[in-house]
Amino acid sequence: MKHILLAALAFSFIACQSKEEILHEQYVIEGRVQYENNCANCHQSNGLGLRNLYPAITKSKIPANDLAKLIKQGRKSASGYMPANPKLHAIDIAEIITFMRHEWGNNEQIFSFDSTRIALKGVD
């Protein structure tokens, strides 16, 4: 009886996940993979960067729109060079930003595909 109850509880929990929550989970999972493939070399998996070569990004206050552009276009400044990512599509970038918010921003809001496309207008 206890097992049946537990199973029913577990099922109702899964069934209660809203479409939005499932989408968020997909973004975070995909975003983690994209982050590992495209960003972790420099900023490391934990986002803490590499000595004074690459900055920690866990506390970066860069707005999501600007981050989308930075990922796409890269940046060269006195403090270092971040390469552009011309091959990343808006959906990849949306997922990376959503992953970063989740991981370091304590922010469970999706940065959507549409928002990313708007942010990249004229850049993409």
Among 52, 79, 121, 122, binds ligand HEC (CB under 6 A): 79
Place of tokens 């091959």: 87
Assign 101 to helix, strand or coil: helix
Residue 6 vs residues 15, 16, 59, 78: alpha-carbon distances, Å: 14, 15, 40, 58
Residues 12, 7: Cα–Cα separation, whole Å: 9
- Minimum distance from CB of 20 to ligand HEC (Å)? 23
Among 12, 52, 77, 106, binds ligand HEC (CB under 6 A): 77
Question: What is the contact mask toward ligand HEC in residues 85 to 114, using x (rule: CB under 6 A)?
Answer: x----------x------------------
**Residue 50 binds to ligand HEC (criterion: CB under 6 A):** no
